[in-house]
Structure 1
């Protein structure tokens, strides 16, 4: 091979190798560049992920701090809520606790003696009081509300009395009301109740005796119908009834009293009246001063509650709130729960929730209302009337007894 040819061959070979080497170098360079970019992208991605995770963590921490701060403000009363909203929130928690307690203590329920008894007075709102109180999760009442145990079933024994009442757990109150307890036989009714249930609490709902007598008359006539001779059904009008019984009652009281006689000294006389003439009790039931001292002698203010029935009719919510305090119950029935029925204006119960605050001018849904029977409030509806002269005669008759009752209980009811 010629020298020049050999030299050319050497250069040719080297060029070929150089091309391969250069190509390999480029491949390595591209691979290195790819690895570098991959790492950079990975670091950026990891950085972004970590940044997002840190942001989420910070948000959660901030939320937890806010929640804890809000909880603290709620517990400490510092949160900016209206007084009503705070009241409803507190009630909501109490209701949840009480319902949970009742659920957990179903097995501990048993028939017990009542812790609360309504003594009357008939036609003054005793049914309304016990019915509205029964919406409390710690109050249980029997069907029909009345047992008449101390009136005519005492001989059956206290175990029989327990069986007349619904079963209750340790915290619940069994309650009944029998309006004739206050002023009907037996004369020793206060002693019977005190000896049988020493720690019982008593409710006495009173109202204007004149309006009460008229309401009682209408109740008896509707109940027994006109054709029935029982009680007062034979008297066509309230005026006829008053003419028949008021003079007789006035003569009796005049014959019983002396200048030194307190009306309460005549309790036995008034208690005995129904035995001979039940119809006269429509009048005597309103002479509260003849009986109240017999009850006060055994039950003090912590166990005997006098309730203004006329006030209850106009503002049941406030009275029910006060009664929960008297009975030692958690206050979960609020005055906001009581609204007037659109059809007749009588108050009904409807649970007022926190959510209702968000609805302005919410109309009353009659389906939500829990009302007393439609037969209640007959005389207040204006369907029945009595002459002004007859009503004034009764007011004059009751006036001195009312004044004595005001002094006995330390309350002025301002009955006409």
Structure 2
């Protein structure tokens, strides 16, 4: 990972390239990437828009724009209204010129939502959802689609990040009786509840045929959502959780943000800082950091906690089990899922009262690779998580045997 001064030097380098060729989409894009690394999301957003203006066919620009919008919400860095309007105008032009590029319509919905134009955003999501289901279930979409019906989710995969949620959602929505949501991670109960229930329901295709289940998978709900809020709306919903060795989950989370181009401290500094911080702030209440604005130093601290806090499973699972009946929760061990996805999916299908449906291949939907950590750091993390793992095993009455 690049130090901050080296990142700023790269920005200056690409700025010079723009003096030679002012409409260079690669230079715009690379400047955006560097600002994204610095967690300067407003600047990153601006330069990605400039890259799209120069080259409307660059898929990577659109996908990085989505990442920037997501993290700007998490860390409360508001995108300039002028940039949002320009982005909406650009995406409308992209949709007009590339009608088959459905991701642009979905992304336009995100930008309109940021502008609090929720009704317009809903129309985008409905159009995107219809095209999605038309591709997977053409007869259902053509004969039973009814946007006037409000569709509620039947299940939510609530956690956890880097535990296999993307793969399990991919396998589950491959079932012929399960419909995918507009997107896997809606983040409604963690960040967008103020957009209203109509906004949430429009993420699920409304049909007059009730023989299909639908749901979402926002793994950060485990530590960010309010279980009572979900229960009041959906008292009969089924919830699925995946727990992975907390050390492996934390390390994988660190490298995920690295791949997404979000700046962090070094691996050792990140986890030493998070352990020291949590020893001083042992309540693990991640909800308390929401709606804050962060300086560069405090942002790096909060990013480090993002990897460690969710792995303290016992603190959060109690909140869910104090609200929902035990039979509405399915807790899976990620290592079992990885080693035998077919058997795990049988459990999931049985839990959701679905006929079993086996795939010919269980591919990894979200693979990640990373360097080995030092034995010293791993041992530090093992010792930190050990008492919480013991509490989890005692509370749930099952062994996870993590080392």
Residues 1:377 and 2:367 are matched in the alignment: yes
Report deviation, 1:137: 1.2
Give the equivalent residue in structure 1 for 2:194: 155
Q: 2:340 aligns with which of 301, 315, 333?
A: 315
Give the equivalent residue in structure 1 for 2:216: 176
Give the equivalent residue in structure 2 for 1:403: 390
Question: In the aligned structure 1, how far is the partner of 2:215 from the partner of 2:373?
Answer: 35
RMSD (CA atoms)? 2.4
1:287-306 map, 5 Å: 287-306=312-331
Question: In the aligned structure 1, how far is the partner of 2:264 from the partner of 2:326?
Answer: 42
Residues 1:210 and 2:247 are matched in the alignment: yes
Q: Structure 1's 240 and 288: CA in aligned 2 closer, same or farther, altered over 3 A?
A: same
TM-score normalized by the length of structure 2? 0.59
Question: In the aligned structure 1, how far is the partner of 2:141 from the partner of 2:274?
Answer: 56
Question: In the aligned structure 2, how far is the partner of 1:153 from the partner of 1:388?
Answer: 40
Give the equivalent residue in structure 1 for 2:265: 235
Question: In the aligned structure 2, how far is the partner of 1:323 from the partner of 1:133?
Answer: 8
Report deviation, 1:247: 1.6
SS of 1:384 mapped into structure 2: coil
Report deviation, 1:338: 4.8
Report deviation, 1:413: 0.8
Question: In the aligned structure 2, how far is the partner of 1:194 from the partner of 1:390?
Answer: 39
Residues 1:201 and 2:238 are matched in the alignment: yes
SS of 1:246 mapped into structure 2: helix
Question: In the aligned structure 2, how far is the partner of 1:242 from the partner of 1:278?
Answer: 10
**Residues 202-235 of structure 1: per-residue CA shift (max 9 Å, x gap):** 11111100000000001111111xxxxx5xx242
**Residues 260-293 of structure 1: per-residue CA shift (max 9 Å, x gap):** xxxxxx46x3431465624312101100111111
Report deviation, 1:108: 6.2
Residues 1:116 and 2:132 are matched in the alignment: no
Report deviation, 1:243: 2.3
CA contact (8 A) 1:215 1:378 kept: yes
CA contact (8 A) 1:206 1:308 kept: yes
Question: In the aligned structure 2, how far is the partner of 1:166 from the partner of 1:289?
Answer: 35
Give the equivalent residue in structure 2 for 1:25: none
SS of 1:176 mapped into structure 2: strand
TM-score normalized by the length of structure 1? 0.57
Question: In the aligned structure 1, how far is the partner of 2:195 from the partner of 2:259?
Answer: 33
Q: Which runs of 5+ in 2 are unaligned?
A: 1-135, 295-301
Give the equivalent residue in structure 2 for 1:248: 277
Report deviation, 1:103: 5.0
CA contact (8 A) 1:316 1:338 kept: no
Alignment length (residue pairs): 256
Question: In the aligned structure 2, how far is the partner of 1:134 from the partner of 1:235?
Answer: 37
SS of 1:179 mapped into structure 2: coil
Question: In the aligned structure 2, how far is the partner of 1:404 from the partner of 1:156?
Answer: 37
CA contact (8 A) 1:317 1:338 kept: no
Q: 1:328 aligns with which of 344, 353, 361?
A: 353
